[in-house]
């Protein structure tokens, strides 16, 4: 059956054919189809292709397409497979795993080329539109995603149903490159990384610090209105707590190694929830106190692999908009709905129009290994979450075998202004760990009962959210979030005293302002301010000084001459409304 996935997968094989023809000593890794095309991993023993060689490889693939090569499946024995792939160490490793698992060995023949593959593929290359295909880029990738293995060369290809879709995607990627949060984050002096500090450990510059404060203020305001109370917890804890929570058995690979201290082991905090459970347990609780909503912007540390670090989107140190809601089973539906409503409010503030919730459920075959062994509670809790999403008419999809170890989770997928998809935040339902911590409340009937716990982080982490917002806004942040909201540009030294008065008045009204007192021309001052994407420029010349007025320029509005009082009132309204 012809499908875009089959075409993408088949083109991966054609690329491998072209590579083996041009680089006979190259060893084959894997080549799956992905959302926008495919990739194939190669081990080049000699000279590897460079970016400028991709155009020639692409022509070689086009030549193969014209030959109307067929894709023919075949099941073979392990012995035959070892013979065919005798010179392919990575394929031999896969064959050994398949043999141990008792699985059949499947190959696909394409002319003289053979690859270890279960398919599916298209019938022949005549089904491929060569104009809807393009080799995209090179990257490094560890074999099987493990840093312990060799770094291979990964070649990415773009494949779409039509050449128009391909052109649209390439245009979108060009725009995304302009909006790359790593590039803009440096240009706008928001964050940096330093080798002496360590990979994945961002340093927030003053502009980034301002953005963090604004986002925290937003969260604190919204959460206070929703009945949350704020707590603070330390950055480390003893091994015993993480053993009790279950995080060490299930999550240890994602935690930094233990520190030996005073005869015991301490771990950097990878999650806030066990600390919050301890706060809940500080004294006996009554049902009258529930729901109890504990919130914290807690700093957590994750031992992410070096090859998976990516700007602010994948880091090792993160400040999480975390909260844990302890509630009764009867309160669960309304609490989860309130959490979803909070997401929708944030989406409106940030202009996020497209989103979907991704409900991750457990796998019954992995109970006791990947998931806590509570089959009835899994089914019951998953139904509870599903019912809330359905009743609230929240768009969602279900994905099996991706839940948290202690309960179902909801990943929030959002799309930026240019249509790029991001995993922004997560909700998790915990029916297991509160019991491990002995958390109870006394119900109206006088009986001790264990609360349910909802983990939620609507604003994700500062790192991931700010990375998303940089790309979403292309650095042109709304005025309430902009590190510098106004820049004052006197035309000459003669207006400096008046410009200073304006600057002082803005600061007195809590407006983040800068005064350009350089000797540069006005044109250069304006260009410099626009490069920094400052929302409002106040230009002060002789006429403005004489009339006690200001000329205001912005990207969103036409230039206008007004009074400071009028400008200030309008600006304060925009900031208050978070426009």
The first and second tokens of residue 143, run together, are 């074999």
Short-list 429, 452, 432, 443, CA closest to 284: 443
Name the DSSP letter for residue 256.
Answer: P
The first and second tokens of residue 451, run together, are 């609360």
Short-list 432, 348, 358, 345, CA closest to 395: 358
- The annotation places the binding site for Zn(2+) at 273, 324, 455
Burial of 226: CB neighbours in 10 Å, binned 0-12, 13-18, 19+: middle
Centroid of chain to Cα 399: 18
E-only strand ranges, 431-558: 441-442, 448-449, 452-456, 486-490, 513-515, 536-540, 550-554
E-only strand ranges, 63-208: 72-76, 105-110, 113-116, 133-142, 151-159, 191-192, 203-204
Please tell me whether residue 427 adopts helix, strand or coil conformation: strand
The first and second tokens of residue 450, run together, are 């264990």
Distance CA 105, CA 118 (A): 8
E-only strand ranges, 126-232: 133-142, 151-159, 191-192, 203-204, 229-230
CA atoms within 13 A on the CB side of 485: 24
Phi, psi of 113 (to 5 degrees): -95, 135
């Amino acid at each position: 059956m012809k499908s875009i996935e089959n075409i993408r997968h088949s083109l991966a094989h054609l690329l491998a054919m072209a590579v083996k023809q041009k680089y006979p000593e190259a060893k084959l890794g894997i080549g799956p189809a992905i959302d926008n095309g495919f990739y194939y991993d190669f081990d080049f023993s000699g000279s590897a292709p460079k970016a400028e060689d991709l155009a020639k490889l692409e022509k070689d693939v086009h030549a193969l397409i014209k030959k109307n090569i067929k894709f023919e499946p075949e099941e073979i024995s392990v012995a035959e497979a070892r013979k065919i792939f005798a010179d392919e160490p990575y394929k031999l490793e896969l064959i050994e795993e398949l043999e141990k698992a008792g699985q059949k060995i499947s190959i696909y023949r394409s002319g003289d080329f053979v690859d270890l593959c279960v398919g599916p593929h298209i019938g022949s290359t005549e089904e491929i539109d060569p104009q809807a295909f393009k080799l995209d880029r090179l990257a490094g990738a560890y074999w099987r995603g493990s840093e312990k293995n060799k770094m291979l060369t990964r070649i990415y290809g773009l494949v779409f149903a039509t050449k128009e879709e391909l052109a649209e995607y390439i245009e979108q990627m060009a725009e995304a490159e302009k909006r790359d949060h790593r590039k803009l984050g440096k240009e706008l002096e928001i964050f940096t990384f330093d080798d002496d500090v360590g990979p994945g450990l961002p340093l927030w510059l003053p502009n980034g610090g301002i953005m963090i404060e604004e986002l925290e203020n937003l969260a604190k305001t919204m959460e206070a209105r929703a009945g949350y109370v704020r707590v603070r917890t330390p950055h480390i804890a003893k091994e015993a707590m993480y053993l009790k929570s279950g995080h060490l058995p299930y999550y240890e690979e994602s935690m930094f190694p233990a520190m030996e201290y005073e005869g015991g082991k301490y771990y950097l905090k990878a999650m806030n929830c066990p600390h919050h459970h301890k706060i809940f347990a500080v004294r006996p609780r009554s049902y009258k106190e529930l729901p109890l909503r504990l919130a914290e912007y807690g700093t957590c540390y994750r031992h992410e692999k070096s090859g998976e670090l990516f700007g602010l989107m994948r880091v090792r140190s993160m400040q999480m908009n975390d909260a844990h809601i302890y509630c009764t089973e009867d309160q669960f539906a309304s609490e989860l709905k309130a959490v979803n409503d909070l997401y929708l409010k944030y989406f409106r503030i940030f202009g996020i129009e497209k989103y979907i919730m991704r409900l991750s459920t457990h796998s019954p075959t992995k109970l006791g290994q990947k998931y806590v062994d509570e089959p009835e509670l899994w089914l019951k809790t998953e139904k509870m979450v599903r019912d809330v999403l359905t009743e609230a008419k929240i768009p969602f999809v279900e994905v099996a075998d991706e839940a948290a170890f202690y309960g179902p989770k909801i990943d929030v997928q959002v799309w930026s202004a240019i249509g790029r998809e991001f995993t922004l935040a997560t909700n998790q339902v915990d029916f297991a760990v509160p019991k491990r911590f002995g958390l109870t409340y006394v119900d109206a009937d006088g009986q001790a009962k264990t609360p349910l716990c909802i983990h939620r982080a609507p604003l994700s982490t500062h790192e991931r959210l700010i990375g998303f917002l940089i790309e979403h806004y292309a650095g042109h942040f709304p005025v309430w979030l902009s590190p510098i909201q106004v820049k004052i540009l006197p035309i000459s030294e003669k207006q400096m005293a008046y410009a200073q008065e304006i600057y002082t008045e803005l600061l007195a009204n809590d407006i983040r302002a800068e005064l350009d007192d350089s000797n540069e021309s006005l044109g250069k001052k304006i260009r410099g301010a626009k490069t920094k994407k400052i929302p409002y420029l106040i230009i002060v010349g002789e006429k403005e000084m004489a009339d006690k007025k200001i000329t205001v320029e912005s990207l969103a509005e036409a230039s206008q001459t007004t009074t400071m009082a009028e400008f200030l009132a309008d600006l304060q309204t925009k900031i208050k409304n978070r426009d």
